[in-house]
Amino acid sequence: MFLSFWMLTNSSFAKISHLLVTSIGEGIVELDKTKSEKVISSSSFLPHGVSLHVKPQSGIETLAAGYQFRFGASTSFQCLDESLELFSGSLFIRSRNINNKIDINGPEISLRVSGSGSSLIQVEPNGGLKCVGLLGSLKLSAGNQTMVLLPGELVFTDLKTDSFSEKVTVDLENLLETSFLISGFLNSASFESALKNVANLQKDAIGKTYNASVGSANSLSNFEVISRSTQDSSNENGISFLKKEDYILPSKSPLDELLGRSPHTLKHTPKPAIHPSSEQHSGNAAIHRPFPSRLLRGN
């Protein structure tokens, strides 16, 4: 009751306050100027304007007005009134209101997230951000460029142009199973069902998986592609991907696939020719044939 009242009343204010609802492992600590740690307990608000750090092999979940956030292991950030300063690590963001907007400020670039939907955002080695769409359609803005991120789409921020890279399609089924920010927390039945439906729709639409994954952005504008054979499947930094433009059409024709065999042409059997003499003979026979009435009279 108190939580619902707080979310309704706080939605009219510009300030985004994070209520800590779940702590996994050692949770989160507040770091002061002397780097001394102060543990933040559940059911309390995260302080604004101070450095916060999620402990290794840990994670937290927060609720704000119209938002749900999850912060991964070893993530360092700072809460501000209308934004988040993300220094390192990764987060999950779920916006429940189409009018929501929040700024995610990375080490080298700022990103505005607006609209309704869910996404994963991670700080890259080059100081940029990597974003993956999960549900809905979030709008991302960086510099003068704005784009819509749909489920299964991944983009990097381009630090040279203060914009985004080309979209890459990720394997959502694999991501949902391996990402701690998704599978490591308790999800509602409706949210789980929506994620599975989106993953199944993507699998049916694309139909071909490539033995590679998207790695990290180590330079200003490029990101690496890693073979799955050389990568630990539990590593979240590599996200398996699919490129729609690389889809190869099947060698068989649609008719072959429909019949399950090569089509056969039916042989045409010609009708027997009728000679004019036979027609005339049959006509004469019909003339000399007695009528049924004469047969009955015996004539």
What percentage of the chain reaches a pLDDT higher than 90? 52
**Tell me, what's the pLDDT at 34?**
76
- Give the fold, CATH level 3, of 2-254: Jelly Rolls (2.60.120)
Is the pLDDT reported for residue 262 higher than 60?
yes
**Tell me, what's the pLDDT at 33?**
77
Domain boundaries, the chain: 2-254
**Tell me, what's the pLDDT at 14?**
56
**Tell me, what's the pLDDT at 36?**
86
Question: Is-contact 42 23, C-beta < 8 A?
Answer: yes
Mean pLDDT of the chain: 77
Using one digit for the tens of pLDDT, what is the confidence trace for 56-88?
A: 999 999 999 999 999 999 999 999 988 999 999
